[in-house]
């Protein structure tokens, strides 16, 4: 077994992001010589038995870790969640129908755009009035919609649904940035999809987990590339799948299972987010930008009340080996992304810098 | 610089396939620690300067190696050539228009299906009458078509266009299985596209090289994910790109440039194919399945005239460390894929086995 290596950089990148150190070692070994085969994982056929087994194991791990019902299906495709935004109306919106959406920022906006292009979108609620700094609540989903779609966590604004909305129509969630970070009752959802490049693996693959009974009701004639039922029937091999990204997803999910699965990672994530937000709240020179009750455990957004201090703060965290905490341009300030594989040690390094900076500039 | 390692396996896989040994070493190093950054290539932001430079270098290498006109654009997307089959009519077929196609087998068939779904397809020629064992010639492309599409090399049937067809309408080619193997006059094409997993890199990315002036003429309102002009304007970063596959493409194209580019690889490919086909032709127990004038330099298909000898032959080549030469089920027999990175040494190993087998069973 590979040994844990010492972190050289505390990687708070918003995604692609840090993965378990042992996964990097296993993946590098497979690039050189995969399981002693004499072949690199990069040169093997996707239809050969060894990779077919990787695909099967990865699908099974998704369902096991999330506790998905047996009949749910898992598909891996290229293209990121943006492809998912397109596939949702193609697979779930009836001809002449509409999708309902909650608008919580950039990713929801792109998803809504795809629904409009496919036929129509009903925006049931939006937090645009306060620059997406909160999660809308108390809205009603119209029963005439073909489905209701929401983004479980917004990476840019640092907001996260703490309770998933109820819906009288099939529920679909883009969970790209918090999948596998906390329990989900999969049976409540017609589909959950997620780009790999946060809690699942490297960039280059997107996971779709769905109830096959929810498909095939739209009356649309789909391209086989756009048809989730086709991809499921072909076990994600209708076209050449992203072999290496799927392999690294398998390694990452094996790591997650090995440390204790969702219950254990939920504890670790709560500890990391708790430490970071309590530091933001106790140091008056910092201020969180998201509504407290909607704060994301994955992406903590905060600013220096005095923006003139930013260059000095930036120099200090860079000196401490911290990387990737500059905020998105639409929020400014800072964003510390604390995905599953980020160790508590990295959050401690950051909060120590924050404390020291506050002491010098408080 | 990494040293060439001794081949443990002669990998004749039809794709994903063998890549240069030095690329495996460079890629594995980048998975552990990319360019001394302390970060894995799998955890870096696609918007950070180091990866933006990878994307820029890779686009530039594509154009340099192929001698593409300056104004042509390069885009990398997930999804394989099957996504390309879908994107072609979306981006080039007018509303109410049609695409013209030459039908040379499975991949052309899938491309034609996408055109039919988008509006209409004109099949100008087909080699289906002889199980796609030849390339149709002497056909005329109707000037009312919006474009003419062909598949430059068929991996399953082992056929390859030796001369590219002329067309009065914009010419589009799927070159997934022979891109970068021989010279192409890019200016003759409105678009060339290719899945990475043969001569370019690992599975998980597809390259689109096109004349931007040929886009935007269809009257279609496209999803931003389906719009090649959008992807070009966003420099392949509209959605999170397949970071690691693109990085390995860069390494592979750097290798190709380093050995002398297309002129050198064309010589090597001719030598490999020459050796293999001359062996097939001189040993009476074997027979090639493709028309001689259309034989692919990438995929050589052949059978044992007496199929009862197959188990004995299979045992012999497996013993010699040869992998991946079983033919596709629709042709049977054998297929030796000899992509750019397959060394002549591997073809020698195979032809020696063939000679020895013929001697014992001739």
Domain CATH code at residue A238 = 3.40.640.10
For residue A321, pLDDT over 60 is answered with yes
Say if the Cβ atoms of B239 and A80 lie within 8 Å: yes
The span from the CA of A171 to the CA of A184, in Å, is 13
Set of chain B residues whose Cβ sits within 8 Å of the Cβ of A77: 78-79
- B176 vs A118, B161, B195, CA distance in Å? 30, 13, 5
Q: What is the DSSP letter of A302?
A: E
For residue B168, pLDDT over 70 is answered with yes
Set of chain A residues whose Cβ sits within 8 Å of the Cβ of B29: 28
- Confirm whether A34 is a catalytic residue: no
Q: Which of residues 281-320 of B touch A (CB under 8 A)?
A: none
Q: Among residues of chain B, what percentage have pLDDT more than 70?
A: 98
The span from the CA of B236 to the CA of B250, in Å, is 15
Range of the domain at A113: 24-259
The C-alpha angle with vertex B267 and arms to B191 and A40, in degrees rounded to 5, equals 75
pLDDT digits (tens, 9 = 90+) for B345-358: 999 999 999 999 99
Same domain, B243 and B294: no
**Total count of domains within chain A:** 2
A163 phi, psi to nearest 5 deg: -120, 135
The span from the CA of A174 to the CA of A191, in Å, is 9
Catalytic residue from among B98, B146, B178, B198 = B198
For residue A5, pLDDT over 60 is answered with no
The shortest C-alpha distance from A199 to chain B (Å) reads: 11
Single out the residue of A202, A201, A154 nearest to residue A178, CA to CA: A154
Indicate whether B18 belongs to any domain: no
B84 CB-contact burial (10 Å; exposed 0-12 / middle 13-18 / buried 19+):
buried
Average model confidence (pLDDT) across chain B: 96
* Residue among A28, A203, A225 minimizing CB distance to B240: A203
Say if the Cβ atoms of A78 and B204 lie within 8 Å: yes
Say if the Cβ atoms of A202 and B243 lie within 8 Å: yes
Q: Does A81 touch chain B (CB under 8 A)?
A: yes
Say if the Cβ atoms of B78 and A78 lie within 8 Å: yes
Indicate whether A211 belongs to any domain: yes
Q: Is the dihedral of CA B69, B73, B76, B81 positive or negative?
A: negative
For residue A179, pLDDT over 90 is answered with yes
Read off the pLDDT of each residue in B113-132 and give the average, rounded to a whole number. Answer: 97
Same domain, B285 and B255: no
pLDDT at B1: 38
A258 CB-contact burial (10 Å; exposed 0-12 / middle 13-18 / buried 19+):
exposed
Q: Does B116 touch chain A (CB under 8 A)?
A: no
- ipTM score assigned to the predicted complex: 0.97
A103 phi, psi to nearest 5 deg: -100, 105
A261 phi, psi to nearest 5 deg: 70, -160
Peptide bond into B203 cis (omega under 30): no
A172 phi, psi to nearest 5 deg: -130, 135
* Residue among B42, B82, B239 minimizing CB distance to A202: B42
Q: Does A238 touch chain B (CB under 8 A)?
A: yes
pLDDT at B6: 58
Residue among B200, B237, B239 with most chain A CBs within 10 A, to mutate: B239
The shortest C-alpha distance from B284 to chain A (Å) reads: 31
Q: What is the DSSP letter of B55?
A: H
Q: Provide the 3-class DSSP secondary structure of residue A306.
A: coil
Set of chain A residues whose Cβ sits within 8 Å of the Cβ of B38: 8-9, 321
Burial per residue of A151-190, b for 16 or more beta-carbon CB atoms within 10 angstroms, e otherwise: bbbbbbbbbbbeeebebebbbbbbbbbbbbbbebebeebb
Indicate whether A19 belongs to any domain: no
Same domain, B137 and B253: yes
The shortest C-alpha distance from B83 to chain A (Å) reads: 6
- Confirm whether B282 is a catalytic residue: no
Instruction: Provide the token pair at A8.
Output: 């050289």
pLDDT at A282: 98
Query: Where a domain ends, among A235, A259, A283?
Result: A259
Residue given tokens 């994307």 in the structure block: B55
Same domain, A61 and A113: yes
Same domain, B141 and B270: no
The span from the CA of B133 to the CA of B302, in Å, is 11
pLDDT at B93: 98
The alpha carbons of chain B give a radius of gyration, in whole angstroms, of 21
Catalytic residue from among A146, A174, A178, A227 = A174
The span from the CA of B31 to the CA of B47, in Å, is 18
Set of chain A residues whose Cβ sits within 8 Å of the Cβ of B43: 11, 13, 16-19, 24, 202
Who contacts B72 (Cβ-Cβ below 8 Å, separation ≥6)?
B63, B186, B209, B210, B211, B212
Q: Does B11 touch chain A (CB under 8 A)?
A: yes
pLDDT digits (tens, 9 = 90+) for B204-226: 999 999 999 999 999 999 999 99
Angle, in degrees to the nearest 10, between helices B344-361 and B261-282: 0
Q: What is the DSSP letter of B307?
A: G
Indicate whether A13 belongs to any domain: no
B123 phi, psi to nearest 5 deg: -90, 110
In chain B, the N- to C-terminal Cα span, in Å, equals 47
Q: Could you please report the per-residue DSSP string of A27-39?
A: HHHHHHSGGGSSS
pLDDT band at B329 (very low <50, low <70, confident <90, very high): confident
Angle, in degrees to the nearest 10, between helices B261-282 and B49-66: 60
The span from the CA of A179 to the CA of A200, in Å, is 8
pTM > 0.90: yes
Say if the Cβ atoms of A38 and B244 lie within 8 Å: no
Same domain, B334 and B315: yes
Strand-pair partners of B173: B150, B192
pLDDT digits (tens, 9 = 90+) for B290-304: 999 999 999 999 999
Same domain, B285 and B241: no
Strand-pair partners of A159: A154, A295
Residue among A29, A194, A223 with most chain B CBs within 10 A, to mutate: A223
Indicate whether B112 belongs to any domain: yes
For residue A2, pLDDT over 70 is answered with no
Query: Where a domain ends, among B259, B293, B324?
Result: B259
Q: Does A329 touch chain B (CB under 8 A)?
A: no
pLDDT digits (tens, 9 = 90+) for A211-261: 999 999 999 999 999 999 999 999 999 999 999 999 999 999 999 999 999
Same domain, B265 and B255: no
Set of chain B residues whose Cβ sits within 8 Å of the Cβ of A40: 19, 24
Residue among A18, A204, A248, A324 with most chain B CBs within 10 A, to mutate: A204
Question: Cβ distance A80 to A206 under 8 Å?
Answer: yes
pLDDT band at A79 (very low <50, low <70, confident <90, very high): confident
A83 phi, psi to nearest 5 deg: -70, -35
Q: Which residue has the higher pLDDT, B140 or A6?
A: B140
Residue among B32, B43, B328 with most chain A CBs within 10 A, to mutate: B43
Supply the CATH number for residue B265's domain.
Answer: 3.90.1150.10
Same domain, A299 and A214: no
A-B Cβ pairs (cutoff 8 Å, strict): 203
Catalytic residue from among A34, A107, A255, A317 = A107
- Confirm whether A107 is a catalytic residue: yes
Indicate whether A184 belongs to any domain: yes
Q: What is the DSSP letter of B260?
A: T
Indicate whether B249 belongs to any domain: yes
pLDDT at B362: 76
The alpha carbons of chain A give a radius of gyration, in whole angstroms, of 21
pLDDT at B4: 46
For residue A311, pLDDT over 70 is answered with yes
pLDDT digits (tens, 9 = 90+) for B184-206: 999 999 999 999 999 999 999 99
Q: How far is CA B52 from the centre of its chain?
A: 25
Query: Where a domain ends, among A210, A237, A259?
Result: A259
Q: Which of residues 153-182 of B touch A (CB under 8 A)?
A: none
* Residue among A28, A113, A203 minimizing CB distance to B243: A203
The shortest C-alpha distance from A190 to chain B (Å) reads: 23
Same domain, B222 and B267: no
Indicate whether B9 belongs to any domain: no
Who contacts B162 (Cβ-Cβ below 8 Å, separation ≥6)?
B135, B293, B294
The span from the CA of A336 to the CA of A358, in Å, is 17
Q: Does B322 touch chain A (CB under 8 A)?
A: no
Same domain, A100 and A170: yes
For residue B38, pLDDT over 50 is answered with yes
Q: Could you please report the per-residue DSSP string of A95-116?
A: TT--EEEEE-SHHHHHHHHHHH
Q: Which of residues 90-109 of B touch A (CB under 8 A)?
A: none
The span from the CA of A348 to the CA of A274, in Å, is 11
The span from the CA of A202 to the CA of A86, in Å, is 21
Same domain, A167 and A42: yes
């Amino acid at each position: 077994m590979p040994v844990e290596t010492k972190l050289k950089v505390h990687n708070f990148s918003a995604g692609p992001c840090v993965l378990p150190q042992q996964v990097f070692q296993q993946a590098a070994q497979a690039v050189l010589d995969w399981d002693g085969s004499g072949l690199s994982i990069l040169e093997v056929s996707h239809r050969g038995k060894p990779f077919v087994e990787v695909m099967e194991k990865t699908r099974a791990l998704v369902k096991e870790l999330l506790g998905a019902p047996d009949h749910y299906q898992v598909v891996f495709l290229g293209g990121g969640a943006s492809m998912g935004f397109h596939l949702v109306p193609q697979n779930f919106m009836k001809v002449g129908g509409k999708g309902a959406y909650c608008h919580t920022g950039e990713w929801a906006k792109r998803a809504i755009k795809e629904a409009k292009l496919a036929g129509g979108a009903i925006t049931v609620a939006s937090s645009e009035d306060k620059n997406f700094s909160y999660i809308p609540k108390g809205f009603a989903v119209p029963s005439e919609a073909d489905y209701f779609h929401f983004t479980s966590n917004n990476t840019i604004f640092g907001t996260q649904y703490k309770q998933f909305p109820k819906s009288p129509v099939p529920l679909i969630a883009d969970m790209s940035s918090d999948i596998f970070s906390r329990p989900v009752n999969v049976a409540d959802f017609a589909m959950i999809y997620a780009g790999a490049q946060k809690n699942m693996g490297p960039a280059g693959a997107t996971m779709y987990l769905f109830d096959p009974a929810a498909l095939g009701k739209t009356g649309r004639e789909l391209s086989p590339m756009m048809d989730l039922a086709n991809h499921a029937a072909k076990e994600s091999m209708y076209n050449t799948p992203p072999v290496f990204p799927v392999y690294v997803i398998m390694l990452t999910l094996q790591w997650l299972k090995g440390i204790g699965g969702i219950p254990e990672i939920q504890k670790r994530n709560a500890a990391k987010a708790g430490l970071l937000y309590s530091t933001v709240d106790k140091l008056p020179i910092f201020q969180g930008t998201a509504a407290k009750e909607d704060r994301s455990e994955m992406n903590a957004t905060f600013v220096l009340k005095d923006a003139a201090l930013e260059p000095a703060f930036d120099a200090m965290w860079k000196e401490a080996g911290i990387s990737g905490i500059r905020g998105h341009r639409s929020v400014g300030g800072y964003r510390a992304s604390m995905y599953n594989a980020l160790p508590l040690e990295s959050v401690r390094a950051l909060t120590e810098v924050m404390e020291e900076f506050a002491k010098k500039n408080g």
